[in-house]
Structure 1
């Protein structure tokens, strides 16, 4: 005789126990393995909270056409100089030499921000003079917008000296942002939006290179010409000018900053979520096995019908 199902329903069985039993202790261990272990693993995997983060941004850098040049023309300390500051040029007297200067800013990726600055200078030198060292200051307007808004005035410093007189100096490097402390993750930061060189000062001390560099290095935010590749060419012909070529690349940067309130919560949540599943399945399986086999004595109670089919 064939049989068929007339009616069926699942039975729900609850396993109960008192507070001070081995089954209760086992349940506490299972709960700890399920919920606390993922947090401990996430914390031990290189930290739980983000204390410092970085982001990538192309800075908006513009050459301000402010320049200060000093060239030593003898080992005894003789020099010639030139600047874009009229007050300083008036102080130079016979040491003033007016060069020929050309500047080009290139935007290779056409995003409206300069990627390369090409600076070329030809300094007239008397036939009896030679150039042994060169110091050059170039000022820039530097801006960041993605996280905190940074507006500041910065500079690039080019320097090279040689015991052999030269005819040309070629320099190639990257203008990089230097930070002593991270920037805030939002807000306006314009405390350094002041002139690096005070061109309105009537005092010679305002144009001293040592003082300018020292005051500039006291700032939290500076730019530096890193990885320069100076090439010192000798053999200047009589009556020809001294040449200085500088190629300065304005690259993407990764400035550090302290994250805000919500950003540190994302990695812990993702880490905890990823570690939760391995720790959830195995303890729950042990919990069902030990309860059904009565490894730890409990009282099974039939709870009734769960649903009908």
Structure 2
């Protein structure tokens, strides 16, 4: 039977020797530093050595606060109609005040104890000659997070639509989305924005001006916004029919961002993977450099060659 090669090894091995304080020893130390330190710098400068930001998904606890402020623009001289759930605002409106019929219903579709959406319907009574050309509506909510960030605030959804053609109904269907300009703390209770969006007890008209309300609200670092409302403007209103606002507002699962403060071992768990992946490239490159330097005597050393014993020679010696 013919023989096949099962294993092979180098016939000889060369060792390069020099003094501890020689140029060759210093050169080897420099090559070692260039092998292991730059991968650490590359991983760090690429902003991925360890995590500083974390995210998680949570279904917020949202409840409608039964607070609303409505401004309806009409074709008649004088501007329009207004109404709110704040008596102080209503007293300021005079003849512009028009009390609507409001129906609301919150629904927990998956029966998890948290509301999933709000159905809001407002019927604004109109005189036969009145026509609505647009509407602006503010609805306020209580918004809470509990899983990682314990966060409580009062927020709002603002919807508006205008048309040159008088309408009979405005239909809106959107999501109450969380907007973060800063990371939420993952420790303690955060209630800095648990204040009314609208100062409903104020007797001053400027406190109910939409420009002032929205400007103060947008100064917050954490807000909610009615995203993708997809408004539908329906026309063709009967003489005695009311103008209707029909809104469906969903409370979606949110991705919450918070600062990542890891322990030592948790930090190492993420850091070493990135460091080693870069280090392998440097090890391969500098191994070739070291072979070239010592084999070509770029740095003076004393080469010592040890020949490997072959099986036949070993048998002869025995």
Identify whether the pair has TM-score above 0.5, normalized to the shorter chain: yes
SS at match of 2:206: helix
Which residue does 2:310 correspond to in 1?
none
1:238-282 CA-to-partner distances (Å, cap 9, x unmatched) read: 101111111222222234333325366543233224445565578
Alignment of 1:79-118 (within 5 A): 79-118=80-119
Which residue in the other structure is 2:126 paired with? Answer: 125
Matches within 5 A, 1:245-284: 245-262=246-263, 266-276=269-279
Q: How many correspondences in the alignment?
A: 289
Offset of 1:90 from its aligned partner? 3.4
Whole-angstrom distance in 2 between the partners of 1:286 and 1:92: 85
Gaps of 5+ in 1: 1-13, 301-309
Shift of 1:235: 0.8
Partners of 1:120 and 1:244 within 8 A in 2: yes
Q: Does 1:36 align with 2:37?
A: yes
Residues 77 and 264 of structure 1: CA distance in aligned 2, closer, same or farther (over 3 Å): farther
Q: CA deviation at 1:283?
A: 5.9
1:192, distance to aligned residue in structure 2 (A): 0.9
Pick which of 127-136 and 249-258 moved more: 249-258
Q: What is the CA deviation profile of residues 137-191 of structure 1, one whole-angstrom value per residue up to 9, with x for unaligned ones? A: 1000111223332111010101111111110001122222223333334332211
Partner of 1:10: none
Q: What secondary structure is seen at the aligned counterpart in 2 of 1:28?
A: helix
Residue aligning to 1:187: 188
Contact 2:76–2:130 (CA<8 Å) still a contact in 1? no
State the alpha-carbon separation in 1 of the partners of residues 212 and 38 from structure 2: 58
| Residues 121 and 244, structure 1, Cα contact 8 Å, conserved in 2 | yes
| Whole-angstrom CA distance in 2 between matches of 1:145 and 1:281 | 49
1:297 alignment counterpart:
301
Task: Provide the aligned C-alpha RMSD in A.
Answer: 3.2
CA contact (8 A) 1:23 1:298 kept: no
Q: Distance in 2 between matches of 1:264 and 1:161?
A: 53
Mapped partners of 1:264, 1:66: distance in 2: 46
- How far apart are the structure 2 equivalents of 1:269 and 1:47? 11
Check the 8 A contact 1:147/1:185 in 2, yes or no. yes
Equivalent pair of 2:17/2:301 in contact (CA under 8 Å)? no
Q: CA deviation at 1:45?
A: 4.5
Contact kept? 1:185, 1:260, Cα under 8 Å: no
User: What 5-or-longer segments of structure 2 have no aligned partner?
Assistant: 1-14, 305-318
TM-score with structure 1 setting the length? 0.79
The reply on whether 1:70 has 2:71 as its aligned counterpart is: yes
Partners in 1 of 2:106 and 2:281 — Cα distance? 56
Kindly tell me: are residues 74 and 290 of structure 1, through their superposed partners in 2, closer, same or farther at Cα, counting changes over 3 Å?
closer
CA deviation after TM superposition for structure 1 residue 51, in Å: 4.4
Alignment map for 1:120-159 (pairs within 5 Å)? 120-159=121-160
